[in-house]
Structure 1
């Protein structure tokens, strides 16, 4: 075969691949028009790079084995009975009708019902959270379950690990999980080995054995972004803080990292326990739900609440639809605090529609972000949401890592979910939705503190951005589904 024939054959083969990938993008179901257009643009304009990128990141591959495990656990969870206080009314009777859709929709994701008899304590700061978690672990009598996306071997990470070691040495069953990427330094450290030698059961969430092997089974950049602490099945912690110091050594130039955490009691602890069980049992096939006792009971004079856990093995779009339902249910005010704001079209439209109909909306984000991609993509949405009436505030006191949303001074959702495409589609997340005016007021007071350290972005300022700046933001925003 001569050189010209070889080149012709290679060109034909290359074009066939480009056409095949393009047809795949156009034929796919369960993909937004924006994502389809973004991938089509990348593959057509940058064929070689686009094909490689689409192969790695274009679709959410989940192995049949993992899907089967999650489905089996869901079937088991459907059979569980959740306790109710004797004589207590249906928890929905405590919630105004306009908010029922929030909890009804959330229940369709994990089958966790709205529960009565819960309590929550909003913790003061990262140091307060560290001390309280350690104190609770030191009082544990039956079990300690921890799962973190990022667990560092810094002051906080080491102190909590040593508390778990002390618990294991006195006979408490300790199970800890850490994400393969977010906690990669810990997983290779002496501290991880020290926990294992003390009798702590350890597991890696979303292990990354090799790019090829992992990608053939599961998309390699799927992550477990949850932050779960359950102690004796009676106490749980929920919020945005990883097992790390606020100085956050890997990205110290953005410090301090500002987080929010709540200490929970009541039936939502059982629901949090089951989320942990779902992750643990996906790695330990010999485990059963009997290893994860549901010890929490409804507390008198407690509020109603519900746990929600989303992830790539749940119904596609479930997380975005939940955020949209929350936003659409608001009557007067919405306060959103998130470090990463890259909404899909569903959430974006819900935000704009709420603002246009008169709901006061405050969006609080960090002024300086640790991700240049997110920073640029976020700004591509400013003009549209500001024109609709959303007020945007950029926090300047560090990296605001808080993930919470409050509605009408009555409902709070607090947890690990960001308002971005990764949290919607790729990450395993955990959140707690609370209907309680007192707790929500405390969260609103905390958000007011963030506002005092924030600069409000004005629509006129955005409209005066230079043309290259606007183009840059819009290009990154358009490619958001790809990045």
Structure 2
């Protein structure tokens, strides 16, 4: 009798989930996959769905009203910006999905690797007069954290407001002692979606992966680099960590700051008084760019659509640096379509990643790339953590978003899309230099003949690609 009741209850729960899947417009293949899991894995199937399967663009983590309230600081409009016809389509797409327009009074500095990046960050932090806003996915104890604390103490003493926001899972190792020291020196601290048992199923899979620093609404930093000493010391197994960051001075910083203010409000439920903030413009028109935010609460997957549009509109080349290229169907199709159309599509990634399971999953797509003419370069020197896309000497994307389902659908991310030929050329030269030092995979037949055990492991890892 008890068993019958339990089975009946489980069937009812399964039917409720089926109705939810149908109402939320999920793809038929995904619906069938979740049905299979729910009705073949007792209890575990339902738990997996609650943890990983819900459509957050339908059932928001945070109220859209709260989101709108937090984003009031963002400008409603902007001056008309002269932009090429080539870039107009992508810029319009980004504006309609994120409400962040093109700005052109910006001065940009490309920063490579940890030493150069943190030297620039520390120097700029020392110049702060009004506020410092700092937000990171990974914030770890160590040399960098101590240097930041030292600067914060001095700045707070100078009446500079310092706010620090960190992700509850990405920064799980950040010690309570360090956080207490931050609070003791009057730094405002907030944690984004902390790990709590009551909210475990609803929040664990949705992380804030952004890396943002804003100083006085005048200078901002974003890119792939976290606050971790591995960027100074390297990694015992992977060697030196390579990454790309961007220093922005100008009006685009206001939009970067708007993202921080929004996330700060969502994490702390505290509003930031922006009445004294002014939009800083460089004296002369400089680099044109847009800040592109994306997250599970947004109606559209803005960064995924931006990547998709860049690749679909490419005429000559698309160069990609990314450690975690685990493409969904749309991204894979756009990459293959571009390559089959004669566009030079190249992927540059490390010869291994920091997670073996992810490494096998990444490699499971190599055969598809090579078959369609996509060139794969494996960098043997350290670990490439950059998230970069270059196209036709006209567009560069530098940011936090990987080419995987987690970044494109589940995480809160931020990319800078730059329309600047000089910066694109600089990044292209760096890319080709790195390719010349890397191992090139371009022989489809040779790769296809790899050991069957490798194919089996890759195939098993690929099954987990939607959640990696």
Q: Same fold (TM over 0.5)?
A: yes
2:135 aligns with one of 144, 147, 154: 147
Asked whether the 8 Å contact 1:316–1:425 carries over to 2, the reply is no
Determine if the alignment matches structure 1 residue 164 to structure 2 residue 122: no
1:214 is displaced (CA, Å) by 4.5
Unaligned runs of 5+ in 2: none
Give the aligned CA root-mean-square deviation in angstroms. 2.4
Counterpart secondary structure, 2:331: helix
Equivalent residue number for residue 447 of structure 2: 462
1:212 is displaced (CA, Å) by 2.7
Aligned residues: 465
Counterpart secondary structure, 1:417: coil
Determine if the alignment matches structure 1 residue 303 to structure 2 residue 298: no
Counterpart secondary structure, 2:204: coil
Counterpart secondary structure, 1:196: helix
**1:45-444 mapped onto 2 (5 Å cutoff):** 45-61=40-56, 65-74=62-71, 76-77=72-73, 80-82=76-78, 84=79, 90-91=80-81, 93-95=82-84, 97-186=85-174, 188-208=175-195, 210-215=196-201, 218-246=202-230, 252-288=236-272, 290=274, 293-444=277-428
1:467 is displaced (CA, Å) by 3.1
Counterpart secondary structure, 1:178: strand
Q: TM-score, normalised by structure 2?
A: 0.92
1:94 is displaced (CA, Å) by 3.3
Counterpart secondary structure, 1:136: helix
Deviations 1:267-323 (A, max 9, x none): 111111111111112234341452672431144140211111101111243332221
Aligned pair in 2 of structure 1 residues 79, 117: CA closer, same or farther (>3 Å)?
closer
Asked whether the 8 Å contact 1:273–1:294 carries over to 2, the reply is no
Counterpart secondary structure, 1:224: coil
Counterpart secondary structure, 2:274: helix
1:8 is displaced (CA, Å) by 4.0
1:11 is displaced (CA, Å) by 4.1
User: 1:30 & 1:167 partners in 2: Cα distance?
Assistant: 50
1:416 is displaced (CA, Å) by 0.4
1:189 is displaced (CA, Å) by 3.2
Equivalent residue number for residue 480 of structure 1: 465
Deviations 1:133-186 (A, max 9, x none): 111111111111100000111112221232122211211111111111111222
Aligned pair in 2 of structure 1 residues 469, 20: CA closer, same or farther (>3 Å)?
farther
Asked whether the 8 Å contact 1:38–1:481 carries over to 2, the reply is no
Asked whether the 8 Å contact 2:231–2:242 carries over to 1, the reply is no
2:34 aligns with one of 39, 54, 63: 39
User: 1:229 & 1:79 partners in 2: Cα distance?
Assistant: 19
Aligned pair in 2 of structure 1 residues 384, 54: CA closer, same or farther (>3 Å)?
same
Unaligned runs of 5+ in 1: 85-89
